[in-house]
Structure 1
């Protein structure tokens, strides 16, 4: 008699903890087809994975850590051993750099194991997250001048919004410090970036008001803002359904935006091409487009910061309609999500 074995399903949170990726990064890799869940609950939308997928998730994390594009990772994981080795040989210099970085991480983990209670993260990653999220904070509203910092077992999340823009960034922690949250002034956190860039690891520990950042003998107290922060997840959950998804190299689009000045740009998405036009000649950028063609317009000064602050070599852009917020997503071990409002360009032929 032949027996069959049904492999145990685990939640996305369990896979995140086992692989070192955040749940949001796993959703990113699922949406781009690199690591699809084994099962999706039709009623709730919850994603479930098998334990055997942890190995693939870890490989994806490691390959992203040396800045391989999603296309290159797909090739490596699908190739036989000889071809995979040839593909990876092109990154020998980066692998040597990672070996040195691994030694630093091992030292950080040793220190983290002996440290007190708190959420430990790479200090440079926290500095970058503050720089990426901080510009979305308001300048004249008490709670919205702050950055919401949330910690749980799989991520440290920083979020800022001025009700017109919204940016949220996650970082995979080196050590879980429990679940907690606090709102701290964006200017306060920005002032700590030079210090964070000078150290390897920092521990965030909640206080009665705000939290403290510690590294060795150095400690910085960050006073909290008592007013409740808006529920940004309601904003994200309330976005219209995605009609078109675009996956593209970040650098190519950023190089184009850097030369566009303050021009208004029209982005036409169709097939496997993103065409960007404005005061200069139209430029065609390679892209993987899923869904209906769509034309949108942006001020380059609005779109550029969202692209410049993204993490990793690839961008995923979710489009609902020409007059609805565009969701710009990127991921490595954590992810960054930014909402960008386009300028609506009417279809003059339909208006006749």
Structure 2
């Protein structure tokens, strides 16, 4: 209070539920002009009767009444005030209907799903699904993470020893970003159906992942658990020390010849020297190339060693793989040649196509067997 029945701007602000800056603004607009302004200090003083006017202004502005209409209401009679308020409420209702219609269209667009080449999706599922865990010890690892954003649909699976991730460029992208973990088992038989379609629409729903094409639809159940943060793992890989470019079929032939025992690879500038415990058998008739052809492994030891031609960049290194881990990564790889990015003998090795980087697979090396087991 300022005496003489006057109220300071701070006192009026508290009484009206407004801020002092709002009162200064309403003064400048002519809606709530102070009774007196000190010529020396510039302080504004208001009459007690102006509290009611300030409260009314706050309430009108609270429901979005424009300033010019607030002025008309403050200066009009009851009939005009009623008419102006009815018009404003009717306008708000119309805007709410329009907003609801726009929101409905946007929600439909976001829920319409992403359109993909059905054949490309079928290939991506086959390439990635095999990296999912075959057991249910950790349920989420038995699933495939499907992520959709404006640029791509990415499929990722891991069983802790191998990780595969593939990005697919959509024919028509989704308007919204979403992700679900799909039970890998439910994707097993979907390839033949997909290959009968040109395009497929993929969307997430409350029930699971829905794939729709032509007049048919498939719904895949999901696993309601958080998928491992594989992007952090990929970002945390060490710098590549040794890079190997090798024929995919040649390396597969060595795995088929070596049986189930771990295979040790000695990597140097001459290529790869594969060593396994026991007789390395010649490739089966099913193999695309037979030993002795220019692109096939060359026997350097009749018992347990094969030389594999490869282009090697970086220092020599020795590491071992279990065929049950390495073989699926090679089978699902793209192109005739693969690239191995090696950081260390005990760190994940990145397997990529040498000509196409869409599919990326991480495989964990195994411990190098005791030299006595290998007859050294």
TM-score range, shorter chain: 0.5 to 0.7
2:165 to 165, 168, 171: 168
TM-score by structure 1 length?
Answer: 0.60
| Deviation, structure 1 residue 212 | 1.2
Match of 2:332 in 1: 309
2:116 to 116, 121, 144: 121
Residues in 2 aligned to 1:319 and 1:334: alpha-carbon distance in whole angstroms = 16
| Deviation, structure 1 residue 177 | 1.9
| Deviation, structure 1 residue 120 | 2.0
Asked whether 1:205 is paired with 2:211, we answer no
1:134 to 108, 129, 132: 129
CA contact (8 A) 1:136 1:167 kept: yes
2:148 to 146, 151, 154: 151
Q: CA offsets, 1:220-257, max 9 Å, x none?
A: 12233332212111121222322111112212212222
Gap change, CA 1:276 and 1:164, over 3 Å in 2: closer
| Deviation, structure 1 residue 214 | 0.8
2:360 to 337, 340, 345: 337
Residues in 2 aligned to 1:289 and 1:213: alpha-carbon distance in whole angstroms = 43
| Deviation, structure 1 residue 144 | 2.1
Structure 1 vs Structure 2 CA RMSD: 2.3
Rg: which structure is higher?
A: 2
Match of 1:242 in 2: 240
1:269 to 267, 270, 276: 267
TM-score by structure 2 length?
Answer: 0.57
| Deviation, structure 1 residue 208 | 3.4
Residues in 1 aligned to 2:192 and 2:268: alpha-carbon distance in whole angstroms = 43
- Summarize the alignment of residues 1-352 of structure 1 with structure 2, pairs less than 5 Å apart: 117-138=112-133, 139-140=135-136, 141-178=138-175, 179-278=177-276, 279=278, 280=280, 281=301, 282-330=305-353, 335-345=358-368
Residues in 2 aligned to 1:213 and 1:159: alpha-carbon distance in whole angstroms = 18
Gap change, CA 1:334 and 1:293, over 3 Å in 2: closer
Residues in 2 aligned to 1:296 and 1:200: alpha-carbon distance in whole angstroms = 43
Gap change, CA 1:194 and 1:218, over 3 Å in 2: same
| Deviation, structure 1 residue 333 | 6.2
CA contact (8 A) 1:242 1:318 kept: yes
CA contact (8 A) 1:182 1:209 kept: no
Residues in 2 aligned to 1:160 and 1:154: alpha-carbon distance in whole angstroms = 20
Q: State the SS of the aligned residue for 2:253.
A: helix
Residues in 2 aligned to 1:254 and 1:328: alpha-carbon distance in whole angstroms = 14
Gap change, CA 1:238 and 1:332, over 3 Å in 2: same
Residues in 2 aligned to 1:331 and 1:212: alpha-carbon distance in whole angstroms = 33
- Deviating above 3 A after TM superposition, structure 1's stretches of 4 or more consecutive aligned residues are 331-334
Q: CA offsets, 1:152-178, max 9 Å, x none?
A: 233221111233332212222222123
| Deviation, structure 1 residue 209 | 4.5
Residues in 2 aligned to 1:287 and 1:153: alpha-carbon distance in whole angstroms = 38
Structure with greater contact order relative to length (CA < 8 Å, sep ≥ 6): 1
Q: CA offsets, 1:3-41, max 9 Å, x none?
A: xxxxxxxxxxxxxxxxxxxxxxxxxxxxxxxxxxxxxxx
| Deviation, structure 1 residue 296 | 0.9
